A and B are shown apart, each in its own frame.
Chain A
Amino acid sequence: MNFAVLVFPGSNCDLDCHKAVEQTLRQPVDYVWHTETDLSKYDCIIVPGGFSYGDYLRSGAIARFAPVMDALVKAAEEGKYILGICNGFQILLETGLLPGAMLRNKTLKFRCHKVMLRVENNRTPFTKDYGPGELIDIPIAHGEGNYYCDEETLKKLKANDQIVFRYADENPNGSIDDIAGICNEQGNVVGMMPHPERAVDMILGSEDGKRMFTSVLRTWREKHDPAVIG
């Protein structure tokens, strides 16, 4: 299975995502620069956290027009697996691959600490290895993670089971309905504010993020490569 980690000027979690794939899954993974226009060789594309283009204007607003984004939209339409983490989630919102928008944290503070998440949907390609309603320990690090959508969109998200993660204890940013992560209607595009790539080894304090990566590999293998034993 081939993984890509997109790199924009200002991405700073690209290395962590690359390492998470390399060390957790031992699968081929490439950094793909934002000027590239072809993502056809990749099965899973990770849009990492950071501050793409300095987050000028709004988080993710300028990255949305990077040359690589047309290829990303095409990959999403083809059903490839796409995971946007933190700034990556903001970019997916700006692109319209996921509904809603991001506001500044209600507390106005940049929050960087561990949070407990509840897995609300364990049927997405990225969450299959979790139990339904399982509580997992994944850190956050963001100043604009206050997910917002209008009432109608929220109803749709609930009706289609698109809320993937909720904050289980305190909501650190004031997001609507305690949302920490959502997916598109098809389920192949997932966006989340917490950082699973920072929770793949006990040396980091938690390895609860590991299963996001093992989930997508298992999903892909079930579809494409049933004979290979991991």
Chain B
Amino acid sequence: MIKATIYVTIKRGVLDPQGNAVQGALHSMGFDEVGSVRIGKYMELELNTDNRAEADNRVKAMCEKLLANTVIEDYRFELQ
């Protein structure tokens, strides 16, 4: 069993309205040290395989095809 943890974030330079709203909220609460806020998605996948090389390829394909929209999002993942 391999566990994949996947992080999907909105690309730098692309507007992140949720991040901006949270930044505003943090500022209004007095957390003035907060610079930019970016909000993304965190996913955990359990893979029924022990083949790490294959898992790496398969998770990459999942990210490219479905889990991230590469027009606006970046992704990275870790296998454990």
Contacts and interface: CB of A to CB of B under 8 A. Distances in A.
A104 B14 contact: no
A103 B66 contact: no
Interface string B59-79: 000000011010110000000
Interface string B8-25: 001000110110010000
B71 A103 contact: no
Contacts of A61: 66, 69
Contacts of A57: 41, 66-67
Interface in A121-180: 146, 148-150, 174
Contacts of B21: 108
Interface residues of B, number: 12
A100 B71 contact: yes
Contacts of B67: 57
Contacts of B18: 104, 108
Contacts of B17: 103-108, 146, 174
Contacts of A111: none
Nearest to A107: B17
Contacts of A100: 71
Interface string A92-104: 0010000111011
Given A57-B66, A146-B15, A148-B72, 15 more contacts: A57-B41, A61-B69, A65-B66, A94-B69, A99-B71, A103-B10, A103-B14, A103-B72, A105-B17, A106-B17, A107-B17, A108-B17, A148-B14, A148-B71, A149-B71
13 contacts: A57-B41, A100-B71, A101-B69, A103-B14, A103-B17, A103-B72, A105-B17, A106-B15, A107-B17, A108-B17, A146-B15, A148-B15, A174-B15
